[in-house]
């Protein structure tokens, strides 16, 4: 039934500030923007080997749990060097969520909280590399 990731959406009270921060993190400009009432409400980047989509959405449109608190998930983005990526995110103003941890041979994760309250995970995944290599050889 599930065919793969299409878009991960993060939320921000200040969308222009979040777009500026993620433009710096990713090293690319967003390719899509949709205003609401004349101000940016949703902006999207295309990221990585498979051009997955990272969206930034105004917090007023965030889903909430039954208790009224914001809901969310941790999305891990594939990186070549978890420690270097983690340190770079911290240097850009993110805060520690979980320091780098080796989960098993070929699998290391870390996560930070971006300046807008979203958890951003990074992972070195042997599975990701194996799939990419297999597809390149096909």
- Per-residue confidence band for 27, with pLDDT thresholds at 50, 70 and 90: very high
State residue 68's pLDDT score: 54
pLDDT digit string (tens) for 41-92? 999 999 998 899 999 999 888 776 555 554 567 789 999 999 999 999 999 9
Buried/exposed code over 7-36 (b: 16+ C-beta within 10 A; e: otherwise): ebbbbbeebeebbebbeebeeeebeeeeee
State residue 2's pLDDT score: 55
State residue 1's pLDDT score: 61
Give the CATH H-level superfamily of domain 71-138.
2,3-Dihydroxybiphenyl 1,2-Dioxygenase, domain 1 (3.10.180.10)
pLDDT digit string (tens) for 82-119? 999 999 999 999 999 999 999 888 899 999 999 998 99
CATH fold of 1-62 reads: 3.30.720
> Where do the domains of the chain lie?
1-62, 71-138
């Amino acid at each position: 039934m599930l065919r793969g990731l299409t878009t991960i959406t993060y939320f921000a009270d200040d969308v222009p500030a979040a777009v500026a921060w993620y433009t710096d993190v990713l090293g690319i400009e967003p390719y899509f923007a949709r205003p609401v009432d004349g101000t940016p409400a949703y902006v999207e980047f295309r990221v990585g080997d498979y051009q997955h989509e990272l969206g930034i959405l105004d917090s007023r449109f965030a889903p909430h749990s039954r208790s009224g608190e914001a809901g969310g998930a941790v999305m891990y983005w594939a990186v070549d060097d978890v420690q270097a990526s983690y340190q770079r995110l911290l240097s850009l103003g993110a805060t520690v969520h979980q320091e780098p941890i080796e989960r098993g041979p070929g699998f290391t994760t870390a996560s930070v909280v971006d300046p807008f309250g979203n958890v951003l995970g990074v992972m070195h995944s042997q599975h990701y590399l194996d799939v990419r290599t297999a597809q390149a050889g096909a």
